[in-house]
């Protein structure tokens, strides 16, 4: 924010985008950066949108993934796997109903986020690239987005949870 403000003050070029890690299984940017990006009209280019392949559909609570998969030897980016598996459990029936892959659904969720202007995909195989590119045609309903957002939402941090607790008597219904 300081750099953006300084660029305005000095009438020089400002940042127009941020390249950052953001997925349905890693929504940490929503705490501070996405509100800033939206407010300042700065774009978001997402890297590792499938969380290093974890959201590709090859992994699950009881699925290790293929032997040659990157995450087997290089477990990055760090992801709360239990939460990710909860998310995948919700994604699988939605993907099946739509006749798409879990990877397409994970990418489509990103493309439905207002701050996201571009998604950087890193496919190892041609089939993966072709599958990922089909995500641009996936339309999610309000109900589907609500399900995905509910299962993947960030846990409140302090002081947020305390402010919510103390303000219960002031909430309007």
Q: pLDDT tens across 82-91, in order? A: 999 999 999 9
- Tell me: the pLDDT tens digits for 106-130? 999 999 999 999 999 988 899 999 9
Q: What is the CA angle 50-120-44, rounded to 5?
A: 100
Beta-carbon contacts of residue 30 (< 8 Å; ≥ 6 apart): 154
Burial 100-136 (b: 16+ CB within 10 A, else e): bbbbbbbbbbbbebebbbebebebeeeebeebbeebe
pLDDT reading at 173 higher than 90: no
* E strand residue ranges, the chain: 17-21, 43-47, 116-120
Nearest-angstrom CA–CA distance, 67 and 153: 31
In the predicted structure, residue 74 carries a pLDDT above the cut 70: yes
Q: What digits encode the pLDDT tens for the residues 31-57?
A: 999 999 999 999 999 999 999 999 998
| pLDDT mean over 23-34 | 97
* CATH number for the domain that contains residue 20: 3.20.20.100
In this prediction the pTM is: 0.89
Mean predicted confidence (pLDDT) in 92-112:
98
Q: 59 vs 105, which has greater pLDDT?
A: 105
Domain count, the chain: 1
Dist CA 76 CA 26 (whole Å): 12
Please, which pLDDT band fits residue 170 given cuts at 50, 70 and 90?
confident
Q: If you average pLDDT over residues 12-37, what whole number do you get?
A: 96
Q: What is the mean pLDDT of the chain?
A: 92
Q: How far is CA 106 from CA 31, 77, 148, 156, in A?
A: 20, 16, 9, 23
Measured CA distances, 5 to 16, 85, 89, 151, 158 (Å): 13, 40, 43, 36, 28
Pick 156 or 22 by higher pLDDT.
22
Answer yes or no: are the C-beta atoms of 51 and 84 closer than 8 Å.
Answer: yes
**Sheet of strand 116-120, all strands in order from the earlier edge strand to the far edge:** 17-21, 43-47, 116-120
Q: Identify the domain containing residue 99 by its residue range.
A: 2-170
């Amino acid at each position: 924010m300081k750099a953006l403000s300084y660029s305005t003050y000095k009438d020089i070029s400002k940042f127009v985008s941020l390249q950052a890690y953001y997925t349905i299984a890693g929504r940490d940017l929503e705490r501070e950066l996405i509100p800033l990006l939206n407010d300042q009209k700065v774009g978001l280019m997402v890297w590792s949108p499938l969380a290093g392949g974890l959201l590709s559909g090859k992994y699950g609570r009881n699925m290790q993934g293929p032997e040659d998969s990157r995450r087997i030897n290089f477990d990055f980016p760090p992801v709360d796997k239990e939460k990710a598996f909860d998310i995948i459990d919700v994604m699988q029936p939605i993907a099946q109903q739509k006749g798409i892959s879990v990877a397409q659904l994970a990418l489509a969720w990103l493309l439905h986020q207002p701050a996201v202007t571009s998604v950087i995909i890193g496919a190892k195989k041609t089939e993966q690239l072709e599958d990922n590119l089909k995500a641009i045609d996936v339309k999610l309903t309000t109900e589907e987005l609500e399900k995905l957002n509910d299962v993947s939402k960030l846990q409140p941090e302090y002081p947020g949870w305390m402010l919510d607790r103390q303000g219960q008597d002031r909430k309007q219904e």
